[in-house]
Amino acid sequence: MDIFEKCYTFKKADEAREMGVYPYFHTLQSRQDAEVVMEGKRRIMLGSNNYLGLTTNPEVVEAGIRAFERYGSGCSGSRFLNGTLELHLELEAELADFLGKESVATFSTGFQTNLGIISAIVGHGDYVICDRENHASIYDGCRLSFGKMVRYKHSDMEDLERALQNVPDGAGKLVVTDGVFSMGGDIARLPEITALAKKYRARVLVDDAHGLGVLGEGGRGVPSHFGLEREVDIYMSTFSKSLASLGGYMAADAKITDYVRHNSRPFIFSASMTPACCASALAALRYMRAHPELVARLRELSDYMRSGLAARGVPVMASATPIIPIYTYEFYVTLRKAKELFDAGVYVNPALPPATPPNECLLRTSLMATHTEALLDEAMDIIRTVIADGGE
């Protein structure tokens, strides 16, 4: 059989295009902000991970420009060889200080960070135990490793304990969980996870991509939110969300990060973060540290929108995060509602399998600290019309 046969028989995208509900690759003609111009029309942006709204912050933008002028457009090599700038070391040092960990290692993308950590740490005979709703990069990191992956039911601590009990004696064990789950916006049950890990002599990695800048003291993330900084062995997060850039990092004991730097193929064989990305992430980190009120404002707006949607007859889950899913359940219903919202001036992300379980499709909305109540009221009125009133 021709290896390309699968490409020619793939029809789902064409079917959505023919129905006029294809939801992907909409084109921005403005900055990533609370309001954008997308395909020639103003849209309220409720589909970005720009949680603190720093992608347009003058200090962040200026830092990127200065780095571009000083260091050029790229490093043309990996961190392992010629691609380490003083900027990388400065960013790593300040992140380590902010997070209260001995050391930080940065990667070129967030996805690459999970690939790099897990594939380096989990070796032959080791086990990695994952929440079923973990991010795709965690799954791919497990596949890239030489260990065995075991999944437990989402946030089910009894199932996690069963999984830990079934790991052979003497095997290395790493429990990996999202800190904030990116589709549902719910927070990992970290107190129970760390307690079980301690009981069964496992280590813990938290993917805090959607927790940094959102939860914890000054935005330090989910471990800080629960006061469990010392119980989590490795923090992982990205620069593409609250820190308004591109890249990722791991924070851990110095011996752990040093091992990963020397054994992680995705780290060793990838070009380093560009100077502009590195400088922008560093400026965003400094701005977040200087303005912890941004984190409080984000929580305030999240509470405002949850209560506002409920008052308008749109059911939502209780949570403390700016990710607010609206469940639409069926595949094509979700696509149709996303298109109706887009046409009415509100951009949201349709979440479909495999990002969600079958028949649990949803419209993922997410907030920024730079939204206003007036803007959210406008968006919620449109959502009510499309969702609660059936678009009539």
* Residues with catalytic function: 182, 210, 241
Q: What is the sign of the dihedral through the CA atoms of 90, 106, 63 and 372?
A: negative
- Residue 125 and residue 27: Cα distance in Å, rounded? 46
Own/partner pairs for 72-75, CB < 8 Å, 24+ apart? 72/275, 73/274, 73/275, 73/276, 74/271, 74/274, 74/275, 75/271, 75/272, 75/273, 75/274, 75/275
- 206: which strand partners? 177, 235
3-state helix, strand, coil in the chain (%, to 5): 45, 15, 40
- Residue 136 and residue 376: Cα distance in Å, rounded? 30
End-to-end C-alpha distance for the chain, whole angstroms = 49
Neighbours of 367 (CB within 10 A): 28
The number of residues in the chain equals 392
Chain centroid to CA 375: 24
